[in-house]
Structure 1
Amino acid sequence: MEFLKSGIKTVLGSTEPGQQPSAAETVEKLVDRVYSSTLLEDRRDACRALKALSRKYRIEVGAQGMPPLVQVLQNDGQDAEIISYALDTLCNIVTSEEFDEEADNPAVSVNVGEQFTEMFIKSPEHVTLVMGYLDEYDFRVRRAAIQLITSLIANKTRELQDLVLVSPMGVSKLMDLLTDSREVIRNDVLLLLIELTKGNSNIQKIVAFENAFDRLFDIVREEGCSDGGIVVEDCLILLLNLLKNNSSNQQFFKEGSYIQRLAPMFILNSELEDSGWTPQKVSNFHCMLQVVRALVTPSNQQQVVNACQRVMQKSQLLQALCDILMSSGVPADILTETINAVAEVVRGDHDNQDELSRVLAPSQPPRPAIVVLLMSMINEKQLLALRCAVLYCFECFLYRNSDGQRAVVQTLLPSSTTDVSSLSTGQLLCTGLFSTDTLANWFSAVAIMHTLVENVAQKEELLRVLLATPGGQRPITLLEQCTNLMQQERYRIQSKVGLLMLLSVWLAHCPSAVKALLDTQGTMAYLTAQLCANEHDEREYLVQGMCAFLMGLCIQFNDNSLANQRREDISQLIIKRIGQETFCNKLGEVSRHEAYSRACKQPQIRAKGASELLLDYEYCKLYKGLEALIAKLVSGFDVDGIELTELTLSSEASALVAQYKGIIRGMDGQIQSLQLSNKELEDQNDELKQQISQEQSLKSQLADQNTLLKAQLTAAATAAQTAGQEQQQAAQPQEELNAARYQANMYFAENIRLTKELETLRQQLAAEKQRADAASQLQLTTQKDQEDLLELLADQEAKLAEYETQALPANSEATSAQR
C-alpha cells in the first residue's frame, strides 16, 4: 500500500501537510495527466495509478476516467503496457463483482457495474475497439481484453451479442483463441463464450460452424474427461449452451458423429469404487448427462429426437447409462439425473425400450432393472427427487409402448407360470397403491395409469384383475378396490388425486370400464356428495373438480347398458342434485389449479416438495381434450333435469320428438366422425408443417455453409492469383481452389434438391388443407341441417301447444253439457 501511495505521489506530486486531496480530486488530476501529457511514460504512469484506484474508488474513476481510457486505446496501441492498464481499469469499472476494498463505501450500489457498462456501449465503436485487441498476442493485453468483454456481456447480454455479431470476424476471433497455447487465455475464452452463447441461436450456430464441437471435445479429452477439473465443466456448459433448444446444432451434432465421441465418457473406471466421486467429477458428470438430455428432451423436434435416440443405442451410450444405474457407490444426485437421462433416451423408441426391459440388476437372483427401480419408487425412505425420476423413467418406458404396457398388466393377472418367490412390477405397484405411505399411493396410481394411456385393450384387461380379501370372502376387482380406497377417510387427498387420475384414464374411451364403475356400489353417491360439499381448501376444490370430470366421463363413454345408469339418468342426477352451473364451476377447478399449469408444461415430474405432487402430464392432456365436451353435455339439459317436451306433450307428440331426437343424435355421430377426420387431417397438416420447418432449417444450414464456402472460394481465388506471380507455389492454391469449387457445387446441388423437396411438401400441405376445408364445409352443412331440424321441432311444439290450447275449451263445454 505504501508503494502504491508513493507511486501516486510520483505522478501527482507532493501535497501540503494537512491538505490531503479527496479521491475525486486525485482521479481528476490523473485524468488530466492522461489527457495532457505528451510523454508516453507519463500517460502510462497515470493509467497505472487509475487502475490502482479503480478497485476502491470505482465510481470516481468510472465517472471521470472512461473517456481518457478510451482515448488511450485509440491512440497508444503500440504500447502493450499502457493498453493493458487501460483495459484492466475498464474491467474493474464495469465488473459486477464487488471488491473487498469498496465494501465500506455506501455509494457503491449493486448494479454500478451495469450502469457503467451501459455508458461504455452507448458508442458501439468502443466494443469494436476492444475486440480489435484480441488480435494482440501479448498476454496482458489479450487476457485483459477477454475479461473486459466477458464482464460487458455478463451485464448487458443481448446488447453485447448484437455488437459482437456486427463486429468484423468477431466470433471467429474468439473461436481462434480456443487454440491459444496458453491455458489461462483458453480458459478465459471458454468463460466468455459461455456468456456469449446464452439464449442466442444465431451466435450458437456460428460458434458450432466454427468447429466448436471438435475443439471442445479435444479440450475435454486433454483435461481428463469426467475425471478432469473445472475446465471440463466449462467445456460441457458451453456445449450445453450450443445444443439446448437449437435444432440446427442438434442435427449438426448428430450428423458429425459427436454422440459417438460422447458415449465413451460415461464408461466408469473399475477403480472408481475405491477412489470415490470427487465434487468436481460429480459436477462434470452432471453436465455430461445434461448434454445427453439436451439432444433427446421431449420438447425438441421429434425427428431430431428419434435420430439421436437411434445413435445413442448403436453407440452403446444407452448401455453405459444403464450400467451406471446398476452400479454401486454412485452419488444420489448423479443416479437421479442418470435415471432421467435414460428415461428420455428410451421415450417413444421401441428398440431402446426393449433394451431397457432386458437390463438386469447384479443381484441374487438377478432382477430386471425396472423392478429394482420401482422398489425404490415405493420406498418412503428414498429421496423425493429419486422417486420422481423413477416414475418419469417408468412413464417413458411405457410411452407408446403397447408391448410394455401389456407386459405390466399381465403381471397383475393370475398365471400358472408366475414365480411366486420373485417380485413383479404388478405386485410392486399394488403394494405401493395399498401402502400407508401417501406418496407411494400417488406414485403407484400414476404408474398404473400409464399402463393404460391410449390403450383400450389394456383397460379392458385390467378389469379382469382380482384381489384377494381377508376372511376368505369373494375376491374383488382392482377397480372396486380403487373406488373403495377413494371413499375411505384415512386415504389422504394426495392419494385420492392419484386414484382419480387412474380411474379417469381407465374410463376414457372404454365403455366397459364405465359400466364396471357404475356397477360398483356407492361410487356415484360418493361423487355426488363430493360435488355437493362446500369446501374452502384449494386441494379439496381440486378433488371436487376431478370428481366432476370422472362423472362426466361416465356420461360421455356410457353405452347405456345399465338400467337407471344411462347417460340421461346421470345427467338428470347432476342437474337435480348438483345443478348445471355448479357442476361446470366444479369441473373448471382442475384447470384453475396451480398444479395443472405446472403439470401441463412438460412430461417430466418436477417437485420441490412432496406436497407439489398432484397432477400428471398425461391426465392433464386427457382433461384438456374432454373438459369442454363434458361441460357441453351437461349444459344441454333443462334446469329441472327433464326436458320440457317430455312433461307437456302427448304420447304421439313425444314419439315425434323422440324421432327428431334420433335424427339429431345421428347427426351428432356424423359431426363427431367429421371432427375425428378433421383432427386426423390437422395432425397430418402439423406433421407436414414440421417436415417443412425441418427442411427449411436444413436449407438455412446449407445456406450458411454456402456463405462460408463462397468466402473460402474467394480467398482461394485470391491466393491462386497471388501464387501465379510465384510459379513455384502455383500448384497448391489451384488444388485448394478446385476442391473448394467442387464442395461448393455439391452444396449448391443439395440446395436445389432440398428446394424441390420443399416444394413437393408444400404441394402436399396444400392438398391436405383442401381436404380439411372440404371436411369443415361438410361439418358446417351437417350442423345447418341440424339447426333446421331443431327449428322444425320448435314449430311442431308450438303447433301442438296451440292444438292443446284450442282443445281445452271444447273439453270444458262437453263436460258442462253432460252435467
Structure 2
Amino acid sequence: MEYFKSGLKSVLGAPQPGSQPTGAETVEKLVDRVTSSTLLEDRRDACRALKALSRKYRLEVGAQGMDALHQVLEADRADCEIIGYSLDTLCNITSAEKFEEENEGNNVHLNVNVGEQFTEMFIKNPDNVSLVLSFLEEYDFRVRWPAVKLLTSLLTNKPKDIQDIVLVSPMGVSKLMDLLADSREVIRNDALLLLIQLTKGNANIQKIVAFENAFDRLFDVIKEEGWMDGGIVVEDCLLLMLNLLKNNTSNINFFKEGSYIQKLAPMFEIPDNIEEMGWSPQKVSNIHCVLQLVRTLVSPNNPVQITSVCQKNLRNANLLEALCNILMANGVPADILTETINAVGEVIRGNLNNQEYFCTVMAPSNPPRPAIVVLLMSMVNEKQPFSLRCAVLYCFECFLFKNEIGQQQVVQTLLPSTTNSTALTTGQLLCGGLFNIDPLSNWFSSVALSHTLIENPAQKEQLLRVLLATNLGSQPVSLLHQCAVYLQQTNKLQSKIGMLMLLSTWMAHCTPAVAIFLNVPGAMAFLTAQTSANEYDNNEELLQGLCAFLMGICVVFNDNSVQNYSKENLSQLIEKRVGLETYVSKLGEISRHEVYAKAAKQPQIKAKYTNDLLLEFEFCKLFKALEGVIVKTLGAQKQLSNGMTELSLSEQENGLLLQYKDLIRDQDRRLQDSNRELRAVAEERDILKAQLEELQQTNSQLQDQNTLLKAQLSAGAVSLTSENPTEPNVENIENIALQQKLKQLEDENVEKDAELERLRKDQDDLLELLTDQDCRLNTFKNRLRELGENIEDDEDSDNNSAGEPDVK
C-alpha cells in the first residue's frame, strides 16, 4: 500500500499539509496528466494509477477519463504497457459486475447499471469496438488478454449491438477465431467464452465462425483436454458447437459433409468399469452436452432430408450402437439416462433401418429382454422419475413413427397366440398400464397405444380383435368396449383425457370401431352429458371439448349400422341436447386451451409436473385435421333435416328477418366508417412511432448527461463537506447550477413519458371499440346464417362498389 501511495505522489505531486484530496479530485488530476503530459512515462504512470482507482471510483474514472483512455489507445499503441493499462481500466468501468471496493469508496449510490451505461457511451462510435478488435492481433499478453476481457464485458452488456459491429468489422470474426490457437490457456479459454456469447442467436456470425474452421479447432481442443474426461473447457467447446448448429441448417450440412459426425465417436467410449469409477459432475455435464449435440443434428425441426442423412451417418459411425450401450449400462445417472433415451428416439425416428436395429437391442438381464420391453416397464412404473417416463414414451413414439412393421409387431403381442411363451410383451405392458390405478400410467399407455394406430387403418381393425376377460366366468369383451366402460367409471381427469385421445385416434377413419363404441351401454349418454355440462374449470372445459370431438367422430365416420345412433340421429341429438352453437364452442375449447399450443409445437413431451400432461402432439394434428370436417358435416345434416328454411318461415319470422337485414346494413355502414377511422389511427400510429424514436434518442442523450452530472455531483458533494457552509464559494455555485440542470432534465423526461402514455391509451381505447363493434356484427350475421340467409364475408363487403351489403 505504501508503494502505491508513493507512486501516486510521484504522479500527482505531494498534497498540501493538512489536506486530503477526494477520489474525484485525484481522478481529475490523473486524467489531466494523461491528456497533457508529453512524456510517455508520465502518461503510463497516470494510466496505471487510473487502473488502480477504476474499481473503487468507477463512476469518476468512467465519467472523466473515457475520452482520455480512448486517446491513449489511438496515440500510444506502440507501447504495450500503457495500452494494457488502458484496456484494463475500460474493462473495469464497463463491467457488469459490482465491485466490493465501490461500496467502500462511494458516498453516492446510484440505482443504475453503471457498466451498461458506460458500454453504451463507448460503443456509440462503432470504431471504438473495431479499435479494440485490432489489439487482438498483438501477441503480447499485456494487450491481447485485456482486449479479450473488454470485448466480453461489452458483449455481456450490449450483445446485439456488439454482434452487429463485429459482423461488419473487417476480419473481425477471423481475429477472434485466431485466439483459439493461442498457446496460453487463459486467453484460449476466455476466447471460448467470448465466442459462446457472440454466436448466440445470430445465424450470420454462426456461419462465419463455422467456415473459419471452428469445428476442427474445437475438436483439437477437446482432444487435448482428454475428451469426456476433460474439464470445463470441453464443456465450453461443446456449448460453442451447439450454438453453431442449433436452428442453422447450413452449419448442420457443413458438419455432416465435413465428416465431423465420425469425430464424435470417442466421446461415447464408456469404460466397462464405469460403475466402479463413478461419474464426476463435470463428466456428466460433458456427456449431457454431447447428447444435445447429437439431438441437434437429428432434430424433428430440421428439414427431413438433412435429418435422414444425419441418422444414416450416426448409424454408420456406430454412434447409435454406442447410445444403446449407454442406455443398457448399469450405474448411469438418471439425467444422463433420460437424455440418452431422448437421443436414441430422435436417431431412430422415421428411419426404418435404425428402428429395425433398435428392435434387436437386448438388455443384459436374466433372462435377456428386448430393450423396448425394459423401457416400457419403466414407463408404467410409478416409482420411476417423471422425466424418465416421459423420455421412454417419446422414444417409443419415435420407434413407431412411420414404422408399420413396428406398429404391427406391438399389436400382434395383444392378439391370441398359439405359442405358450411366458415372456412379458409390449402389448401386455401397455394393456396393464391402460387400466392401472396410477392415472399417469393410464395416460402414458393410452398415448403409446394410440401411436400403434396412426396412419395405419389395418392395425385399427386388428386391434378390434383384442378380447379381455374382465371377470371370472364372464364373457370376454373387446378392448375398445372396455376402454369405453373405463372412461365412464374413472373419476381421474388425466385418465379420462388419455382414454379420449386413444378412442379418438382409434375411431377416426374406422367405421367398425365407431359401431362397437355406439353399442357400449351408456357411452353416448356419457359423452352427451359431458359436452352439455356447464363447468367452468379450465381442465374440465378441455374434457368437455374432447367429449364433443369424440361425438363428432361418431357422426362423421358413422356407417348407419347402429339403428338408434345413425348419422342423422346423432346430429339431432347434438342439436337438441347440446345445441349446435354450444357444441361448436365446446369443440373450440380444445384449440383455445393453453396445453394445446404447447403440445402442438413439437413431438417431444415436455412437462415440469405430472398434471401438465394432458394433450399430445399427434392428437393435436388429428384434431386440427378433423375439426372443420366435423363442423361442416353437422351443418350439412342440419340443412338436410330442416329442408329449405326460407320457405318455411312464418310471417313473424319474415318480419324479424327484415329487421336483421336492416340492422346488418346499418352495421356494415358503421364498419366501413370504423375502417376509415382505423386507417386514420394507423397513420397516427406511424407518426407516434416516429415521435417515439425521437424521444428515445433524446432520452438516451439525457441518460448520458445524467450519468456525467451525477458523477460530477458526487465529486462536488465530497468537497462541500470540507468547506464552511456559511461561506459561499465557486464550487457551491458548480453544484447549485448542476442540481438545477439535473432537475430540469428529469422534469422533461417525466412530461414526455406522460405524453407518450396518454397517446398509447387513446389508441388502445379506439382499437377496443372497433373490436367490440366487429364482434356484434359477426353475431348478427351468424344469426341470419342460422335462418338460412346467404351473408357475404367482410372481404366481399369491402369490395362492394355500391357501398351497401348484398343481402340475398
TM score, norm. by length of structure 2: 0.78
Q: Counterpart of 1:361 in structure 2: which amino acid?
A: A
Alignment-derived partner of residue 631 in structure 1: 631
Q: Counterpart of 2:486 in structure 1: which amino acid?
A: L
Q: How many Å separate the matches in 2 of 1:605 and 1:264?
A: 30
Q: Secondary structure at the match of 1:470?
A: coil
Alignment-derived partner of residue 75 in structure 2: 75
Question: How big is the shift at 1:17?
Answer: 5.3
Question: How big is the shift at 1:109?
Answer: 4.3
Size of the alignment, in residue pairs?
650
Quick check: 1:485–1:491 contact (8 Å CA) kept in 2? Answer: no
The residue correspondences of 1:15-34 to structure 2 (distance < 5 A) are 15-16=15-16, 19-34=19-34
Q: Secondary structure at the match of 1:226?
A: helix
Q: Give identity over the alignment, percent.
A: 65
Alignment-derived partner of residue 232 in structure 1: 234
Alignment-derived partner of residue 708 in structure 1: none
Quick check: 1:511–1:558 contact (8 Å CA) kept in 2? Answer: yes
Runs of 4+ residues deviating >6 angstroms: 646-649
Q: Counterpart of 1:312 in structure 2: which amino acid?
A: L
Quick check: 1:486–1:496 contact (8 Å CA) kept in 2? Answer: yes
Alignment-derived partner of residue 718 in structure 1: none
Q: How many Å separate the matches in 1 of 2:213 and 2:539?
A: 53
Alignment-derived partner of residue 513 in structure 2: 513
Residue 453 of structure 2 is aligned to residue 448 of structure 1: no
Q: Counterpart of 1:256 in structure 2: which amino acid?
A: G
1:43-98 deviation per Cα after TM superposition (whole angstroms, max 9, x unaligned): 11111111112212222221221111111100011111110111111111112222
Q: How many Å separate the matches in 1 of 2:386 and 2:112?
A: 36
Alignment-derived partner of residue 390 in structure 2: 388
Quick check: 2:119–2:157 contact (8 Å CA) kept in 1? Answer: yes
Question: How big is the shift at 1:647?
Answer: 13
Q: How many Å separate the matches in 2 of 1:558 and 1:12?
A: 96
C-alpha change, 1:458 and 1:240, in structure 2 (3 Å) is same
Q: Secondary structure at the match of 2:465?
A: coil
Quick check: 2:571–2:638 contact (8 Å CA) kept in 1? Answer: no
Q: How many Å separate the matches in 1 of 2:92 and 2:603?
A: 45
Moved more, 410-419 or 230-239: 410-419
The residue correspondences of 1:644-793 to structure 2 (distance < 5 A) are 644=643
Q: How many Å separate the matches in 1 of 2:63 and 2:473?
A: 89
Alignment-derived partner of residue 642 in structure 2: 643
Q: Secondary structure at the match of 1:319?
A: helix
C-alpha change, 1:228 and 1:597, in structure 2 (3 Å) is same
Alignment-derived partner of residue 469 in structure 1: 470
C-alpha change, 1:647 and 1:32, in structure 2 (3 Å) is closer
Quick check: 1:441–1:495 contact (8 Å CA) kept in 2? Answer: yes
Alignment-derived partner of residue 135 in structure 2: 133
1:205-233 deviation per Cα after TM superposition (whole angstroms, max 9, x unaligned): 11111111111111101100010001100
Alignment-derived partner of residue 301 in structure 2: 299
Alignment-derived partner of residue 320 in structure 2: 318
1:540-577 deviation per Cα after TM superposition (whole angstroms, max 9, x unaligned): 00000000011111111112222121111111000010
1:496-529 deviation per Cα after TM superposition (whole angstroms, max 9, x unaligned): 1111111111111111111111111111000000
Alignment-derived partner of residue 487 in structure 2: 486
Q: Counterpart of 1:96 in structure 2: which amino acid?
A: A
Quick check: 2:350–2:401 contact (8 Å CA) kept in 1? Answer: yes
Residue 471 of structure 2 is aligned to residue 458 of structure 1: no
Q: How many Å separate the matches in 2 of 1:363 and 1:454?
A: 34
The residue correspondences of 1:277-288 to structure 2 (distance < 5 A) are 277-288=279-290
Alignment-derived partner of residue 523 in structure 1: 523
Alignment-derived partner of residue 794 in structure 2: none
Quick check: 2:568–2:637 contact (8 Å CA) kept in 1? Answer: no
Question: How big is the shift at 1:335?
Answer: 0.5
Alignment-derived partner of residue 39 in structure 2: 39
Match for residue 289 of structure 1 among 288, 291, 301: 291
C-alpha change, 1:46 and 1:544, in structure 2 (3 Å) is same
Question: How big is the shift at 1:6?
Answer: 4.0
The residue correspondences of 1:124-163 to structure 2 (distance < 5 A) are 124-163=126-165
Question: How big is the shift at 1:110?
Answer: 6.1
Question: How big is the shift at 1:463?
Answer: 0.8
Quick check: 2:298–2:311 contact (8 Å CA) kept in 1? Answer: yes
Q: How many Å separate the matches in 1 of 2:586 and 2:117?
A: 51
Alignment-derived partner of residue 246 in structure 1: 248
Question: How big is the shift at 1:9?
Answer: 3.6
Q: Counterpart of 2:342 in structure 1: which amino acid?
A: N
Alignment-derived partner of residue 213 in structure 2: 211
Q: Counterpart of 1:563 in structure 2: which amino acid?
A: Q
Q: How many Å separate the matches in 2 of 1:480 and 1:430?
A: 13
Alignment-derived partner of residue 439 in structure 1: 440
Quick check: 2:227–2:266 contact (8 Å CA) kept in 1? Answer: no
Match for residue 268 of structure 1 among 263, 267, 270: 270
Question: How big is the shift at 1:470?
Answer: 1.8
Question: How big is the shift at 1:10?
Answer: 3.3
Question: How big is the shift at 1:107?
Answer: 2.6
The residue correspondences of 1:487-506 to structure 2 (distance < 5 A) are 487-488=488-489, 490-506=490-506
Q: Secondary structure at the match of 2:565?
A: coil
Moved more, 571-580 or 550-559: 550-559
Q: How many Å separate the matches in 2 of 1:482 and 1:103?
A: 68
Alignment-derived partner of residue 763 in structure 1: none
Larger relative contact order (Cα-Cα within 8 Å, sequence gap ≥ 6): 2
Alignment-derived partner of residue 424 in structure 2: 423
Quick check: 1:113–1:155 contact (8 Å CA) kept in 2? Answer: yes
Residue 120 of structure 2 is aligned to residue 118 of structure 1: yes
Q: How many Å separate the matches in 2 of 1:199 and 1:418?
A: 58
Q: How many Å separate the matches in 2 of 1:271 and 1:46?
A: 60
Q: How many Å separate the matches in 2 of 1:647 and 1:406?
A: 53
Q: Secondary structure at the match of 1:588?
A: helix
Q: Secondary structure at the match of 2:200?
A: coil
* Structure 1: segments with no counterpart, 5+ residues: 650-789, 793-819
Alignment-derived partner of residue 399 in structure 2: 397
1:584-633 deviation per Cα after TM superposition (whole angstroms, max 9, x unaligned): 11001111111001101110000011111110000001111111221222
Q: Counterpart of 2:642 in structure 1: which amino acid?
A: E
Moved more, 617-626 or 157-166: 157-166
C-alpha change, 1:38 and 1:614, in structure 2 (3 Å) is same
* Structure 2: segments with no counterpart, 5+ residues: 649-787, 791-808
Q: How many Å separate the matches in 2 of 1:210 and 1:418?
A: 63
Q: How many Å separate the matches in 1 of 2:610 and 2:2?
A: 59
Alignment-derived partner of residue 355 in structure 2: 353
Alignment-derived partner of residue 196 in structure 1: 198
Alignment-derived partner of residue 376 in structure 1: 378
TM score, norm. by length of structure 1: 0.77
Q: Secondary structure at the match of 1:520?
A: coil
C-alpha change, 1:415 and 1:22, in structure 2 (3 Å) is same
Q: How many Å separate the matches in 2 of 1:352 and 1:482?
A: 33
Q: How many Å separate the matches in 2 of 1:449 and 1:103?
A: 63
Moved more, 64-73 or 9-18: 9-18
C-alpha change, 1:539 and 1:2, in structure 2 (3 Å) is farther
Q: How many Å separate the matches in 1 of 2:103 and 2:415?
A: 70
Question: How big is the shift at 1:22?
Answer: 2.8
Q: How many Å separate the matches in 2 of 1:536 and 1:435?
A: 29
Question: How big is the shift at 1:636?
Answer: 3.7
Q: How many Å separate the matches in 2 of 1:620 and 1:527?
A: 20
C-alpha change, 1:418 and 1:55, in structure 2 (3 Å) is farther
Residue 567 of structure 2 is aligned to residue 562 of structure 1: no
Quick check: 1:405–1:451 contact (8 Å CA) kept in 2? Answer: yes
1:736-759 deviation per Cα after TM superposition (whole angstroms, max 9, x unaligned): xxxxxxxxxxxxxxxxxxxxxxxx
Alignment-derived partner of residue 94 in structure 1: 94
1:322-347 deviation per Cα after TM superposition (whole angstroms, max 9, x unaligned): 00000011111111111111111000
Quick check: 1:59–1:108 contact (8 Å CA) kept in 2? Answer: no
Quick check: 2:375–2:392 contact (8 Å CA) kept in 1? Answer: yes
Q: How many Å separate the matches in 2 of 1:63 and 1:98?
A: 17
Q: How many Å separate the matches in 1 of 2:419 and 2:373?
A: 18
Q: Counterpart of 2:560 in structure 1: which amino acid?
A: N
Quick check: 2:61–2:93 contact (8 Å CA) kept in 1? Answer: yes
Q: Counterpart of 2:485 in structure 1: which amino acid?
A: N
